[in-house]
A and B are shown apart, each in its own frame.
Chain A
Amino acid sequence: QKEVEQNSGPLSVPEGAIASLNCTYSDRGSQSFFWYRQYSGKSPELIMSIYSNGDKEDGRFTAQLNKASQYVSLLIRDSQPSDSATYLCAVLNSGYSTLTFGKGTMLLVSP
């Protein structure tokens, strides 16, 4: 069974700090990885996608992928209270286009 593991948190960081969110996955054949942000009671919204090993930066967000270690991470620089949400790691399953989600990490950014 394909699995995506995340620390449930909560991860608490002060405003302005760097938040680091981690994710591991079991499907070694996976090629596409996504980070979604979900506010309470709302649908997930896409933050980042990453397909190649290394870093990918978009504004305050940096996604990191290491396929050999089956590890994906998301760094949020200059964290803001509005970043407080649950962050879901999602992996596109090899062979067919369904996503497996981790349980999410709750991030709390204190002013």
Chain B
Amino acid sequence: GAVVSQHPSWVICKSGTSVKIECRSLDFQATTMFWYRQFPKQSLMLMATSNEGSKATYEQGVEKDKFLINHASLTLSTLTVTSAHPEDSSFYICSAPPQGLPNSPLHFGNGTRLTVT
């Protein structure tokens, strides 16, 4: 149980285009989802917290107008990288805690490898 599905697994796009990444909780409801980014040989850095039915909370230094987050339902959060540039190339991973168990470990999606050319 507690599976998080992320799509696509990898995407290559041209500079200036936008890319949407989907994160779904398959067998549980996720009122909160977290979006992380990981550059090569670096740790996971929290970008933003996605809250169902309300605005996302962004970490310091993350541009909310560039990384658009929508959490329209209890099972789906999306991250859109707008006007992507090569420096946005990274591994993006979503995660969610089991509903009602905020201190439980996060379940991670399989990640999306974004390459901007």
Contacts and interface: CB of A to CB of B under 8 A. Distances in A.
A63 to B, nearest CB: 12
Contacts of A102: 43
A99 B43 contact: no
Given A88-B44, A102-B43, A97 B111 contact: no
Nearest to B111: A43
Given A88-B44, A98-B49, A103-B42, A43 B109 contact: yes
Given A44-B44, A51-B103, A103-B43, A97 B93 contact: no
B98 to A, nearest CB: 11
A96 to B, nearest CB: 8
A32 B105 CA distance: 8
Given A46-B105, A49-B105, A97 B97 contact: yes
Q: What is the predominant secondary structure among interface residues of chain B facing chain A?
A: loop
Nearest to A106: B41
A30 to B, nearest CB: 10
Nearest to B6: A43
A82 B85 CA distance: 36
Nearest to A32: B103
A43 to B, nearest CB: 4
Interface in A44-102: 44-46, 49, 51, 88, 90, 92, 97-102
Contacts of A101: 43-45
A14 to B, nearest CB: 25
A104 B41 CA distance: 9
Contacts of B49: 98
Nearest to B97: A97
B46 A98 contact: yes
A6 B91 CA distance: 21
Nearest to A51: B103
**Top 7 A-B pairs, shortest CB-CB distance:** A97-B102, A103-B43, A43-B111, A43-B108, A101-B44, A101-B43, A32-B103
13 contacts: A32-B105, A41-B113, A42-B110, A42-B111, A43-B110, A44-B108, A46-B106, A49-B105, A88-B43, A97-B32, A97-B102, A98-B49, A99-B106
